[in-house]
Structure 1
Amino acid sequence: MTTQVVILAAGMGSRLGRSLPKPLTELSDGRTIMRQQFDNIEHAFGNNAKVTIVVGYKLEHIIEAFPQASFVYNEEYDQTNTSKSLLRALQASQPGGVLWMNGDVVFDPRILDRAAAMIARDQSFVTVNTSKVSDEEVKYTTSAEGYIKELSKTVKGGLGEAVGINYISAADKATFQRELVKVGDQDYFERGLEVAIEKFGLLVEPVDISDLYAVEVDFAEDLARANLFV
C-alpha cells in the first residue's frame, strides 16, 4: 500500500539566516535536511511512498533538488503559516491517510519505523518528546484516556513537545481539513488539529520518541545540535 507523505517547505526560514529555503541547508554529513528526510522515508517505506512537497519561497531550488516528488504551491507563503500549506496538500491528496512533517526537522530514521506501525492501523497520531518542554515549542496535554487534548505553544503544564511529524487517518482527514480552512492564516496546523479534537472528538495518539533524536532547525544552534546526530 502506498503511503502518502507531505513535507511542508514553503516558508522563508528567515531566522536561520540562509539565502536558500531552509530544508536545503546542508548538514555535516553532506546531505541537506530534506535529503535526510527523503532517506528516512525510503528507509521506512521503501518505494511505497508518494512524497508531496509544499513549496513557496524560492521553490525552483527545491523542485530541482527533488524532481521525483510531487509539488503543491502555496502562493501565499509569505502571508500564511503551516495550517494553510498543509491544507493545500491535503486538498490535493488521494483518498486515505497522510503522514506529514515540517521541512526543517532532522530526525532519527527509527521514528518512521514507529510511525509505520501506526499508519498500518490508520491511527491518527502526533510524535512527541517528553524529555523537555520549552516555552517556544508546541506543547501538548492528554485526556484521561491518553489521547491528545491540547496542542499549541500556549499550553500550560505541557507533558512534552510535539516533534513535527504527524499522521491524519483516512477517517479523520475531512474533519481536519474543514478546521484548517477555518483557522487563521497565521495559525500553525496544530491549531486545526486541536480544534478538531475539541469539537469532534478526534482520537489522536501521542507517539513518544523521546529516546530518539529529532531537531527542528530554526536557529544556528539548532543546526549545530542536529549535526551531532547525523
Structure 2
Amino acid sequence: MTIQTVILAAGMGTRLGRALPKSLTMLSDGRTIMQQQHENIRAAFGTDARVTTVVGYRAETIIDAFPDASYVHNEIYDQTNTSKSLLRALLATGRGGVLWMNGDVVFDPRVLGRAVDFIEREESFVAVNTSKVSDEEVKYTLSADGFIDELSKSVQNGLGEAVGINYISRHDKRALIQQLQRVDAQDYFERGLELAIADNGVRVQAMDISDLYAVEVDFAEDLERANDVLA
C-alpha cells in the first residue's frame, strides 16, 4: 500500500531537557522514538510508504540518522508551531492524502493497522484515546452526526484526547492547506483542522485507539510511561 506519511520533528523539545531533537530520544528497547515510528510505518504499509520529515532544530542530526527519508525544512522552527510545519509538508506531498504524526509519539504498531481501513476509504481521521482527558492535552468533541467538532487544548467537557496521529484525505487536503495558511504562526495544526471543519465542511472521523498505547513524550515522566508500555 503506497501512502505518503509525514513526521513533524522541527521543534526544540525544550520541556524534555535534552540537547538532541525529541524524536532522537532513546527508548528502553534501544530504539529512538523516530526509529520506532519508521518501523511502525513500514510494518503497516510496507517498503512503498513514503516518509517525509519536517525538520528544523538540529536538522542534520535527524537527516544523518535517517538518510533515506525525504525532508522538508522549517527554517523558522523557533518562531512557529506545528501548523506551519504541517503546512510545509502538505505543500510538498502532491495531491494525495497524507498520514501525519508528531515526532515525539511512541505508539502501538497496531494503531496504523487500524488506520488502513480509513485510508483506503479516503476518510480523514484523528486518532483519539477516550480513556483519559487531561487538561494540558488536545481534547475533542463530536458533532450531532458523530464527526469531530472541537479540537484543541481549551475544549471543555472533552470526550477524550487526540494522540497526535492523523490522516487528511485527498479530498480534504486543499481545505486544510488553506486553513493552515490562515492560522497564527504559533497555532497547533489542530486549529487548522477545526477551521476546515467549521468553514469548509470537512468531516473528520474520531478513530478510537483507547485499547492501544500512544504516548506523546513531552516530559521525563512521559518517557517513563513510554518505556513502561514497551517493556
Give the Cα–Cα distance (whole angstroms) in 2 for the partners of residues 94 and 49 of structure 1. 14
Q: TM-score, normalised by structure 1?
A: 0.99
Aligned to 1:95: 95
Aligned to 2:119: 119
Deviation at 1:11, TM superposition (A): 0.1
Give the Cα–Cα distance (whole angstroms) in 2 for the partners of residues 145 and 28 of structure 1. 42
Deviation at 1:96, TM superposition (A): 0.8
Aligned to 2:148: 148
The answer on 1:4 being equivalent to 2:14 is no
Match of 1:211, as an amino acid?
D
Deviation at 1:3, TM superposition (A): 0.2
Encode CA deviations 1:65-100: one digit per residue, 9 max, x unaligned.
001100000001000000000000000112210000
Aligned to 1:86: 86
Encode CA deviations 1:78-130: one digit per residue, 9 max, x unaligned.
00000000000000112210000000000000000011111111110000000
Deviation at 1:28, TM superposition (A): 0.1
Match of 1:116, as an amino acid?
V
Q: Secondary structure at the match of 1:228?
A: helix
Give the Cα–Cα distance (whole angstroms) in 2 for the partners of residues 99 and 71 of structure 1. 15
Deviation at 1:229, TM superposition (A): 1.5
Q: Residues 49-198 of structure 1 correspond to what in structure 2 (within 5 A)? A: 49-198=49-198
> Over aligned residues, Cα RMSD in angstroms?
0.5
Any gaps of 5 or more consecutive residues in structure 2?
A: none
Give the Cα–Cα distance (whole angstroms) in 2 for the partners of residues 73 and 214 of structure 1. 26
Task: State, as a whole percentage, how many aligned pairs show the same letter.
Answer: 70
Give the Cα–Cα distance (whole angstroms) in 2 for the partners of residues 28 and 155 of structure 1. 34
Q: Which runs of 4+ in 1 moved over 4 A?
A: none
Give the Cα–Cα distance (whole angstroms) in 1 for the partners of residues 93 and 154 of structure 2. 30
Match of 1:59, as an amino acid?
A
Any gaps of 5 or more consecutive residues in structure 1?
A: none
